[in-house]
Chain A
Amino acid sequence: MMIELESVNKIYNQGQPNEVQALYDVDLVIEANSMVCLRGASGSGKSTLLSIIGCILPPTSGRATVAGKQLSRLPDRFMTIHRRQTIGFIFQQFNILPDLTVQENISLPLLPLGVSPEERRMRAKVLIERLGISHRQNFPAGQISGGELQRVAIARALINDQPIILADEPTAHLDTKLSKEFLQIMVDLKKTGKTIIIASHDPLVTEKPEIDRIIDVTDGRVDVS
């Protein structure tokens, strides 16, 4: 298995007046090379769960094991290293730097890895072509359309060939056609052996036949059914 959570709790601002418990005793196992959807209403804790799986947030208590490493034991520095080796994150807001070109945005995760400029360009080019945005590769990211922007975000999540792809509400800003295209890209990626986790309450996603499993998140609790 790829991901295993045991009694994971997440409390934001613990001990402060604005304390919020976002996750309650979450137990969850996700197999390698599966395509999973986290379904839940707004505020139910989907993003929080994805952030923990994505090694962005440590759990407040409980055990989270991702790709063989137990996160709560990792200091920040090593969590970052583990994250960039195993997780490709497609954010809800894309998190693209508008002043950089498409190609520069995509290769951003490679800079601190000491990858040379030529190799960065090459690796970005392969993904740019695969995602059909070659005509935009030297455009500033601030000047391209929403659908293209998301492909940039996908390419960036794939640049280091990470085994796990996380997508947070990926279809929220897309129309039906683009949403379907996105899901097709995910299905194709699954075929290359990746584990894919999508947080969404969009029926287009939840009703997609290729989804192996739907996990319902309700008020910070997960029903394993």
Chain B
Amino acid sequence: MSPAFEKHLNLLDYALSSLWRRKMKNLGIITVFAGVIFLVASFQILTSSLTSIAETMLAKTPEIVVQKMSAGRQESIPLSYLNRLDGVFGIRAAVPRIWGYYFDETSGANYTVMGVERNAMPEGQRLEMVIDGSYPDAEPGGAALGREVAANMNLAGRRTFSLFRPDLSLKTLRITGIFAESTNLLTGDLLVTSLDDARDLFAIPDNLATDLLVYVTNPNEISTIAKKIAARLPDTRVLTRPQILKTYKVVFGWRSGFASICLLAALAAFAILAWDKASGLSVEEKREIGILKVLGWQTTDILTLRYWESLTVAGLAFLIGCTAAYFHVLFLEGSLFRPVLLGWSVIHPSLKILPVFAAGDVLLIFTLSVLPYLAATVIPAWRCSTISPDAAVK
């Protein structure tokens, strides 16, 4: 073995044993450090996971949504508009949809009620696949519920429930199915009925709907077709799937950005703490550096030693923090950060989250935690080790 390599082994060995000699202090640092990394990493993993879930699910939303606008606000759209879309080349199907929010006074929760004509929708049969049970359009009065809605209603085995119409008369619905857990992020607060039942519940006239869903033959033409529709129906707003995805990302990005800033603040506080601790090298540490220096250790040897020590502490904290975060998301589903990311509404989607740990995130966390710590510990040692060995010993 070359002496240079042997020297590094010696320094590493010395670093590990001196960490061990101060194990209480170092365990303390590792614990706090790992805690901070745990928070940041949990958050990052959760964000990435939710983003990827949302992206796969939003991929199934309609390609184009047409809303009627009046005085800058959305209002119900006449079904006659459907006819005016006839002849726009490339439209595969256009179906009316009725949806709105229903406030459940007993539980204080808001449900999203949606009625569509499944048979008119391309691939409408696929909706069945996300429901445990059947789609509620076989006969009038059926409803499929999101898991959160079902849990909220306190059904206790009942298969029917009643909601109030605007005139406070009761409309009774029969449960035909529950949405699959895997879709909870989007379906948790959802109550799906046939178009007519939704119309009945919200008392919307027969000739109106909330909006129109347009499906295209060729997904590459979404924006061209959207433009054509907008030209034909000037009093409407035409939303495309890419736009919806973008809006979603903006909202989500804002939330996660906000939380990121809080976490970065925590990280910065830790860095300052570490700096403070480390830059005030204790008397013993200074003495040790002085002794090593006077015994013939070079400044670089002492820096290497410090570097190994800090890298071990920070690396261990990093590994522990990231692993804990991974399991936090896998088993506890990121319960610490869910409210921040999913909103504070009464209905929390309780979806199964599979941790997504992107290499970029790992690198970012590493750069923001391990590197500052290395700097905070190695630089003071460097300042101390460049002074003359005689002063260091006195």
CB of B4 closer than 8 Å to a CB of A: yes
Whether the pair B393, A117 counts as a contact (CB closer than 8 A) is no
B291, A112: Cβ atoms closer than 8 Å: no
Min Cβ gap A78→B in Å is 10
Given A77-B298, A83-B296, A99-B21: A113 in contact with B7 (beta carbons within 8 A) = yes
Count the B residues whose beta carbon is within 8 Å of the partner chain — how many?
28
A160–chain B nearest beta-carbon distance, Å: 8
Question: Could you tell me if B14 and A114 are in contact, using CB atoms closer than 8 angstroms?
Answer: no
Q: Within the assembled complex, what's the spacing in Å between the Cα atoms of A81 and B393?
A: 18
Instruction: Contact check, A116 vs B1: say whether CB atoms are below 8 A apart.
Output: yes
Expressed in whole angstroms, the minimum distance between the Cβ of B92 and any Cβ of chain A is 75
Q: Which residues of A contact B301 (CB under 8 A)?
A: 111-112
Assuming the A-B contacts A56-B294, A89-B294, are A115 and B390 also in contact, with contact meaning beta carbons closer than 8 angstroms in the complex? no
Let me know if A80 is at the binding interface, CB within 8 A: yes
Q: Across the two chains, which residue of chain B brings its CB closest to A160?
A: B296
| Distance of A157 from chain B, by nearest CB (Å) | 9
- A97-122 CB mask vs B (1 if < 8 Å, else 0) is 10100000000111111111100000
B3 touching A114 by the CB < 8 A rule? Answer: yes
Q: In angstroms, how far is the closest chain A Cβ from the Cβ of B263? A: 37
Residue from the list A56, A93, A112 in contact with B389, Cβ < 8 A = A56
**What is the CB-to-nearest-CB distance from B297 to chain A, in angstroms, rounded to a whole number?**
5
Residues of B within 8 A of A67 (CB): none
| Residue B10 CB within 8 A of the other chain | yes
**Cα distance, A55 to B280, chains bound together (Å):** 29
Asked if B243 is an interface residue, CB under 8 A from chain A, the answer is no
Check if B291 sits within 8 Å of A95, measured CB to CB.
yes
Residues 2-16 of B contacting A (Cβ, < 8 Å): 2-7, 10-11, 13-14
Given A83-B296, A89-B294, the answer on whether A113 and B393 have CB atoms closer than 8 Å is no
Known: A108-B295, A111-B297. A95 touches B4 (CB 8 A): no
Known contacts A84-B295, A89-B294, A116-B1; is-contact A111 B10 (Cβ 8 Å): yes
Q: Which of B10, B295, B297 sits near A156, CB closer than 8 Å? A: B295
A91 contacts partner chain B, Cβ-Cβ < 8 Å:
yes
Q: Most chain-B Cβ atoms within 10 A of its Cβ — which of A84, A93, A95, A115?
A: A95
Count contacts between A and B, CB distance < 8 Å. Answer: 69
Taking a contact as CB atoms under 8 Å apart, the answer to whether A51 and B390 are in contact is yes
Question: Is the CB–CB distance between A108 and B6 below 8 Å?
Answer: no
> Closest approach, in angstroms, between the C-beta of B233 and any C-beta of chain A?
80
Interface of B is mostly: helix
Which B269-300 residues sit within 8 Å CB-CB of chain A? 288, 290-299
Chain A positions 57-93 with a Cβ under 8 Å from a chain B Cβ: 57, 76-77, 80-81, 83-84, 89, 91, 93
**A162 CB to nearest B CB, Å:** 10
Contacts A91-B393, A97-B288, A99-B21 given: A114-B6 contact, CB under 8 Å?
A: yes
Known contacts A77-B298, A83-B296, A114 near B10 by CB under 8 Å: yes
Q: How far is the CA of A156 from the CA of B291 in the complex (A)?
A: 12
State which of A51, A93, A108, A160 has its C-beta within 8 Å of the C-beta of B292: A108
Is A111 within 8 A of B11, CB to CB? yes
Query: In this assembly, does B160 line the interface, its C-beta being within 8 Å of a C-beta of chain A?
Result: no
| In the complex, residue of chain A having the shortest beta-carbon distance to the beta carbon of B21 | A99
**Which B residues are CB-close (under 8 A) to A57?**
388, 390
Interface residues of B in 287-331 (CB under 8 A from A): 288, 290-299, 301
Could you tell me the distance between the alpha carbons of A80 and B297 in the complex, rounded to whole angstroms?
Answer: 7
Q: Chain B: which residue is nearest A77 at the CB level?
A: B298
A116 near B6 with CB under 8 A, answer yes
A residues near B (Cβ < 8 Å) are: 51, 56-57, 76-77, 80-81, 83-84, 89, 91, 93, 95-97, 99, 108-117, 156, 160
Given A113-B7, A114-B2, A114-B4, 17 more contacts at CB 8 Å?
A56-B388, A77-B298, A81-B296, A83-B296, A84-B295, A91-B393, A95-B291, A97-B288, A108-B292, A111-B301, A112-B10, A112-B11, A112-B298, A113-B296, A115-B6, A115-B10, A116-B6
13 A-B contact pairs sorted by A residue (CB < 8 Å): A56-B388, A80-B293, A95-B294, A97-B291, A108-B291, A108-B292, A112-B10, A112-B297, A112-B301, A114-B2, A114-B3, A114-B5, A160-B296
Top-10 shortest CB links A-B: A84-B296, A114-B3, A114-B7, A114-B6, A111-B10, A112-B301, A109-B295, A95-B291, A56-B390, A99-B21
